[in-house]
Amino acid sequence: MINRSIFLVGPMGAGKSTIGKLLAAQLRLPFADSDKVLEEKAGADIPWIFDVEGEAGFRRRESEILQALCEGPVQVIATGGGIVLREENRRLLRKHGQVVYLQASIDQLLERTSKNSNRPLLQVANPRARIIELVEERDPLYREVADLVCETDHCTPKQAAVRVAERLMSASPAD
């Protein structure tokens, strides 16, 4: 029985939104994507927010959305890749739910994000170098908050969702 929200964390392209929808369906829970909620509340897309308010403005909005989601019903929540950058967010994640770190290789992250222009942090000359930099910075923070880690490279999103659900439902999800 799942009685706390499930937060999916990890880098851009790890599969948080895709796996999150499948996981929510499997667990019969509502699903929320914090980036989509943020865009709906702001009435603007993330690249526009980055252009107008910068990353600091975006991170402030992201924290507000996370707080609101934590106060909502038990659900599966896909978070933005940088949600762990703020200590206040890491505290909220740990306090209000179970945290699943979805991992993927640099090659997979690059492949999965290469055709998406809605990722302001990857609009650079060398996206591979940027992904490496982001993963190196954020991996320790993802691990700090994670109740379990799931590798998403060598499985379909459905297989990853099943694996996560099984581990969440087991007595010891850290196994």
Q: Give the pLDDT score at 159.
A: 94
- 80 is an annotated ligand-binding site residue: no
The model's confidence at residue 35, banded by pLDDT at 50, 70 and 90, is very high
pLDDT 10s digits, 53-68: 988 999 999 999 999 9
- 18 is an annotated ligand-binding site residue: yes
Return the exposure string of 103-112: e unless at least 16 CB atoms fall within 10 Å of the residue's CB, then b.
bbeeebbbeb
Q: Give the pLDDT score at 173.
A: 43
Q: Do the beta carbons of residue 5 and residue 74 sit within 8 Å?
A: yes
Average pLDDT of the segment spanning 140-155: 93
Least confident range from 44-58, 66-80, 110-124: namely 110-124
- 172 is an annotated ligand-binding site residue: no
Q: Give the pLDDT score at 175.
A: 37
- 10 is an annotated ligand-binding site residue: no
The model's confidence at residue 124, banded by pLDDT at 50, 70 and 90, is low
- 36 is an annotated ligand-binding site residue: no
- 35 is an annotated ligand-binding site residue: yes
The model's confidence at residue 169, banded by pLDDT at 50, 70 and 90, is confident
The model's confidence at residue 122, banded by pLDDT at 50, 70 and 90, is low
C-alpha dist (Å) from residue 2 to 10, 66, 171: 21, 19, 12
Q: Which residue has the higher pLDDT, 152 or 125?
A: 152
- 59 is an annotated ligand-binding site residue: yes
Q: Give the pLDDT score at 127.
A: 77
Chain mean pLDDT for the chain: 89
Q: Which residue has the higher pLDDT, 114 or 119?
A: 114
Is residue 7 within a helix (H) or strand (E), and if so which, with residue range? Answer: strand 5-9
- 115 is an annotated ligand-binding site residue: no
- 13 is an annotated ligand-binding site residue: yes
Tokens of 149: 């880690």
For each of the domains in the chain, give its residue range(s) and CATH number, in order of start: 5-169 (3.40.50.300)
